């Protein structure tokens, strides 16, 4: 059977807490091909081309005149994600336009790293879609993200991506473990 | 098969009859036929053998002298001689086929086809025959014995019972096999010629089966173990299925714990693809394709008398792998609390029409966690069960221990 080529594999949506996400500095591509995906490297040691976050939308803003886009802040137990949706993400933009903060939202999007001329970094999420969810989904996400983060920390130094992370970040796994613990502890209240 | 083997066989046979023969003479005759006249070796062997038999006035030496082969070891591309029992006869589907069925010996079974042009004697069910110079070829990925005009068939006077051994479902490969199974799922036949279709299974796994309508064919009953003898395993698009029309099936005592080939996945539904929600399906029997918004079926063109259906084509993502998933109507209704009737009435009364149904389903499902079980086909999980995940305090405790286990 030679009929099937290598099937297209959609990039998985990584689970990452806001405090780790904002530490992203390094991005890379696997090949020079125009269509090859760009990955952001998470400090805990995994490539990320897409992410799934659930948190509280606390604020949204419409910006631009000709090219309208929306910005929003989504808060998780460890910090804040900055999300954007412009005319290239029509679905997410229209959804965001409708949602009134505060609300629990699930966001699927791509990581975006921008270095300002003065050398500081703006790390944000370019949303592909946003939907309103409930508190239970948020709690499930915290568990899920804690588990995924701990899995990465446990495997740190053994995988190809985590070796790359060792080169590019000053990783202290214990600090991240602490963050995970704090995030989980907030669920008990 | 090569010439020197044929030389050996011919001289052996003639010497066994007490005559002597020059091997070089045999070889040169064979070579002449094969190399100058392009005759294939077994045909050449037959010709030389009968020539020599005539020259030496020998009788009882059959024209072909292929060795007897075991049915279980036949592979496509051979000329063979076998002895076996006709264990199944199937009504001919074409005028050019005189007879077809299954012949078996102690080592296995193979499907056979007798071409009408072969003018071969008709073989009877449950009788033994010696079939000389038949050809093994491949039909739908399975070996198949072709009986042509050069084949000779002789009835044998023996009646040895042939006891087929059962093959575990997960080890099935194209060809004739016997299985001991139970029906797992009974699907609605999509074709009027189909008597029954669904899923059969044993401890090792499951396989799709089909029974076509035919006089005397009966359906399989639920919750009954069957011994199925001589079913055809076909391969289509890389997947196996079992056709029971050649088979004999007998209910048996006992029960089988059917092994699961289902996959379970838990994750977040991160994408709901176009083509989800309320869709229209082609009403032509056996088609069931999705129609475009203009009611166009890719095969049957415009179909105004479509029927509605609900489905979700989505992506369930566990953070490590994004998996395509398909939810059928019953699951969509269960998870969204939106019935097909409601969806149709929304589509007919709302200015956004079918899009409104899509948005409602998306808003109900997107970004939520589900656990789904189902079978995987073509990189897509066809869900049989799906439930929304709920918060588990025990999981929280485990994770807190993991995170704070050392030095925290």
User: Residue B284 maps to which CATH number?
Assistant: 2.40.50
* Whether the predicted pLDDT of B407 surpasses 60: no
Partner residue opposite A187 with nearest CB, options B320, B321, B396: B396
User: Residue B124 maps to which CATH number?
Assistant: 2.40.50.140
- In this prediction, residue B405 carries a pLDDT of 62
Choose, out of B265, B272, B403, B405, the residue to mutate when testing the contact with A (most A CBs < 10 Å): B403
Q: How far is B176 from chain A (nearest CA, A)?
A: 21
Residue with the bigger pLDDT between A17 and A171: it is A17
The pLDDT confidence band at residue A23, using thresholds 50, 70 and 90, is: very high
Partner residue opposite B403 with nearest CB, options A9, A132, A180: A180
User: Is B403's CB within 8 Å of A181's CB?
Assistant: yes
Choose, out of A130, A136, A182, A189, the residue to mutate when testing the contact with B (most B CBs < 10 Å): A136
In chain A, which residue's Cα lies nearest the Cα of B369? Answer: A137
- Pairwise CA distance, residues A184 & A172, whole Å: 19
User: Is B399's CB within 8 Å of A147's CB?
Assistant: yes
Residue with the bigger pLDDT between B204 and A25: it is A25
Q: Would B61 be classed as within a structural domain?
A: no
Q: Which of B120, B132, B118, B117 is nearest to B49 (CA)?
A: B132
Q: Which of A69, A142, A81, A67 is nearest to A110 (CA)?
A: A81
Q: Would B325 be classed as within a structural domain?
A: yes
Residues B173 and B215 in one domain: yes
Residues B299 and B384 in one domain: yes
Q: Would B64 be classed as within a structural domain?
A: no
Mean pLDDT of B5-18: 78
Partner residue opposite A184 with nearest CB, options B322, B392, B400: B400
Residue with the bigger pLDDT between B390 and A8: it is B390
The pLDDT confidence band at residue A4, using thresholds 50, 70 and 90, is: very low
* Whether the predicted pLDDT of B162 surpasses 90: no
* Whether the predicted pLDDT of B54 surpasses 80: no
CB burial string B186-210: b at 16+ within 10 A, e below? eeebeeeeebbbbbbbbebbbbbbb
* Whether the predicted pLDDT of A129 surpasses 90: yes
Are the C-beta atoms of residues B284 and B297 closer than 8 Å to each other?
Answer: yes
Q: Would B258 be classed as within a structural domain?
A: no
Residues B36 and B111 in one domain: no
Residues B286 and B337 in one domain: yes
- In this prediction, residue B12 carries a pLDDT of 77
From first CA to last CA, the distance across chain B in angstroms is 76
The pLDDT confidence band at residue B261, using thresholds 50, 70 and 90, is: low
Are the C-beta atoms of residues A85 and A79 closer than 8 Å to each other?
Answer: no
- In this prediction, residue B377 carries a pLDDT of 75
Indicate if ipTM > 0.95.
no
User: Is A9's CB within 8 Å of B322's CB?
Assistant: yes
Query: Read out DSSP for B380-393?
Result: EEEEEEEEE----H
Residues B277 and B378 in one domain: yes
Measured CA to CA in angstroms, residue A168 lies from A25, A45, A151 at distances of: 8, 10, 20
Residues B39 and B75 in one domain: no
pLDDT averaged over chain B?
87
In chain B, which residue's Cα lies nearest the Cα of A1? Answer: B238
Residues B14 and B84 in one domain: no
* Whether the predicted pLDDT of B408 surpasses 50: no
User: Is B369's CB within 8 Å of A137's CB?
Assistant: yes
Q: Which of B56, B55, B33 is nearest to B46 (CA)?
A: B33
DSSP code of B17?
T
Chain B residues within an 8 Å CB radius of A137: 367-369
The pair of three-digit structure tokens given for residue A165, joined into one six-digit string: 């992370």
User: Is A106's CB within 8 Å of B396's CB?
Assistant: no
User: Hey, what domains does chain A have and what are their CATH numbers?
Assistant: 18-187 (2.40.50.140)
User: Is A150's CB within 8 Å of B319's CB?
Assistant: no
Q: Which helix (H) or strand (E) holds B110?
A: strand B108-115
In chain A, which residue's Cα lies nearest the Cα of B395? Answer: A143
The pLDDT confidence band at residue B64, using thresholds 50, 70 and 90, is: very low
With an 8 Å Cβ cutoff, the interface of chain B facing chain A consists of: 237-238, 268, 270-271, 315, 317-322, 324, 362-363, 366-369, 379, 389-392, 395-396, 399-400, 402-404, 406-408
The pLDDT confidence band at residue A134, using thresholds 50, 70 and 90, is: very high
Question: What is the per-residue pLDDT across B331-361, written as a single tens digit (0 to 9) for each?
Answer: 999 999 999 999 999 999 999 989 999 999 9
The pLDDT confidence band at residue B396, using thresholds 50, 70 and 90, is: very high
Residues B235 and B298 in one domain: no
Q: Would B27 be classed as within a structural domain?
A: yes
The pLDDT confidence band at residue A7, using thresholds 50, 70 and 90, is: low
User: Is A137's CB within 8 Å of B402's CB?
Assistant: no
- In this prediction, residue B314 carries a pLDDT of 96
Residues B118 and B178 in one domain: no
Mean pLDDT of B187-214: 88
The pLDDT confidence band at residue A1, using thresholds 50, 70 and 90, is: very low
pLDDT-wise least confident of A15-19, A148-152, B74-78: B74-78
- In this prediction, residue A25 carries a pLDDT of 93
Partner residue opposite A148 with nearest CB, options B238, B319, B407: B319
- In this prediction, residue B406 carries a pLDDT of 53
pLDDT-wise least confident of B6-20, B195-209, B274-288: B6-20
- In this prediction, residue B60 carries a pLDDT of 56
With an 8 Å Cβ cutoff, the interface of chain A facing chain B consists of: 1, 3-4, 7, 9-15, 50, 52, 54, 105-108, 128-133, 136-137, 139-141, 143-144, 146-148, 150, 174, 177-178, 180-181, 184-185, 187-188
Q: How far is B128 from chain A (nearest CA, A)?
A: 37
- In this prediction, residue B102 carries a pLDDT of 93
Chain A residues within an 8 Å CB radius of B320: 12, 148
pLDDT-wise least confident of A126-130, B81-85, B157-161, B230-234: B157-161
Residues B51 and B120 in one domain: no
- In this prediction, residue B66 carries a pLDDT of 57
Q: Would B400 be classed as within a structural domain?
A: no
Mean pLDDT of A90-96: 92
Q: Which of A142, A68, A147 is nearest to A104 (CA)?
A: A142
Number of domains in chain B: 4
* Whether the predicted pLDDT of B105 surpasses 70: yes
CB pairs < 8 Å spanning A and B: 99
- Pairwise CA distance, residues B307 & B167, whole Å: 41
- In this prediction, residue B375 carries a pLDDT of 83
Residues B186 and B248 in one domain: yes
Mean pLDDT of B120-146: 88
Residues B148 and B200 in one domain: no
Q: Would B305 be classed as within a structural domain?
A: yes
Domain range spanning residue B358? 263-388
Give the number of other Cβ atoms within 10 Å of residue A23's Cβ. Answer: 17
Q: Would B406 be classed as within a structural domain?
A: no
User: Is B367's CB within 8 Å of A10's CB?
Assistant: no
* Whether the predicted pLDDT of A36 surpasses 90: no
Q: How far is B265 from chain A (nearest CA, A)?
A: 14
- In this prediction, residue B65 carries a pLDDT of 43
Question: What is the per-residue pLDDT across A47-73, written as a single tens digit (0 to 9) for each?
Answer: 999 999 999 999 999 988 888 899 999
Q: How far is A58 from chain B (nearest CA, A)?
A: 18
* Whether the predicted pLDDT of B209 surpasses 60: yes
What's the 3-state SS for chain A?
A: CCCCCCCCCCCCCECCCHHHHCCCCCEEECCCCCCCCEEEEECCCEEECCEEEEEEEEEEEEECCCCCEEEEEEEECCEEEEEEECCCCHHHHHHHHHCCCCEEEEEEEEEEEEECCCCCEEEEEEEEEEEECCHHHHHHHHHHHHHHHHHHHHCCCCCHHHHHHHHHCCCCHHHHHHHHHHHHHHHCC
């Amino acid at each position: 059977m030679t009929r099937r080529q290598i099937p297209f594999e959609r990039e998985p949506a990584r689970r990452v807490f806001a405090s780790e996400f904002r530490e992203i500095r390094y991005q890379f591509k696997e090949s020079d091909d125009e269509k090859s995906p760009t990955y952001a490297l998470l400090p805990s040691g995994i490539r990320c081309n897409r992410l799934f976050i659930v948190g509280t939308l606390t604020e949204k803003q419409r910006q631009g005149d000709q090219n309208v886009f929306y910005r929003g802040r989504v808060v998780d137990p460890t910090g804040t994600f900055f999300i954007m949706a412009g005319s290239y993400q029509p679905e997410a933009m229209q959804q965001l336009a409708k949602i009134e903060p505060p609300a629990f939202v699930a966001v699927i999007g791509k990581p975006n790293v921008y270095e300002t001329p003065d050398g500081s970094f703006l790390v944000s999420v370019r949303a592909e879609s946003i939907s309103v969810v409930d508190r239970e989904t948020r709690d499930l996400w915290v568990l899920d993200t804690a588990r995924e983060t701990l899995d990465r920390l446990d495997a740190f130094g053994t995988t190809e991506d985590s070796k790359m992370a060792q080169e590019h970040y000053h990783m202290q796994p214990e600090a991240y473990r602490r963050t995970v613990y704090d995030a989980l502890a907030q669920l008990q209240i | 098969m090569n010439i020197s083997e044929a030389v050996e066989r011919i001289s052996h046979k003639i010497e066994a009859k007490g005559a002597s023969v020059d091997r070089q003479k045999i070889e040169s005759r064979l070579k002449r036929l094969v190399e100058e006249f392009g005759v294939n070796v077994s045909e050449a062997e037959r010709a030389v053998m009968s020539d020599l038999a005539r020259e030496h006035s020998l009788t009882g030496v059959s024209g072909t002298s292929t060795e007897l082969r075991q049915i279980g070891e036949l592979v496509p591309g051979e000329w063979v001689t076998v002895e076996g029992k006709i264990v199944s006869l199937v009504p001919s589907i074409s005028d050019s086929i005189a007879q077809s069925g299954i012949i078996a010996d102690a080592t296995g079974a193979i499907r056979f086809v007798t071409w009408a042009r072969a003018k071969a004697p008709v073989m009877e069910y449950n009788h033994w025959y010696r079939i000389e110079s038949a050809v093994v070829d491949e039909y739908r990925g399975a070996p198949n014995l072709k009986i042509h005009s050069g084949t000779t068939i002789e009835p044998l006077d023996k009646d040895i019972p042939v006891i087929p051994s059962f093959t575990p479902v997960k080890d099935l490969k194209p060809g004739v096999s016997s299985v001991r199974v139970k029906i797992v799922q009974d699907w609605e036949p999509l074709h009027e010629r189909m008597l029954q279709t669904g899923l059969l299974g044993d401890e090792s796994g499951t396989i799709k089966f089909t029974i076509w309508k035919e006089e005397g064919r009966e359906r399989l009953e639920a919750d009954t173990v069957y011994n199925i003898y001589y079913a055809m395993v076909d391969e289509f698009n890389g997947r196996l299925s079992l056709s029971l029309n050649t088979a004999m099936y007998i209910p048996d005592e006992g029960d089988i714990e059917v092994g699961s080939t289902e996959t379970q996945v838990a994750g977040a539904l991160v994408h709901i693809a176009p083509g989800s929600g309320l869709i229209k399906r082609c009403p032509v029997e056996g088609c069931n394709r999705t129609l475009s918004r203009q009611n166009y079926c890719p095969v049957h063109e415009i179909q105004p008398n479509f029927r509605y259906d609900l489905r979700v084509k989505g992506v369930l993502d566990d953070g490590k792998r994004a998996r395509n998933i398909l939810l059928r109507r019953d699951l969509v209704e269960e998870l969204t609390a939106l019935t097909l009737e409601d969806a149709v009435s929304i589509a007919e009364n709302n200015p956004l029409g079918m899009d409104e149904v899509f948005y409602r389903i998306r808003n109900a499902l997107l970004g939520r966690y589900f656990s789904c079980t189902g079978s995987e086909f073509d990189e897509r999980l066809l869900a049989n069960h799906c439930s929304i995940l709920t918060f588990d305090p025990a999981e929280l405790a485990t994770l807190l221990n993991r995170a704070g286990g050392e030095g925290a």
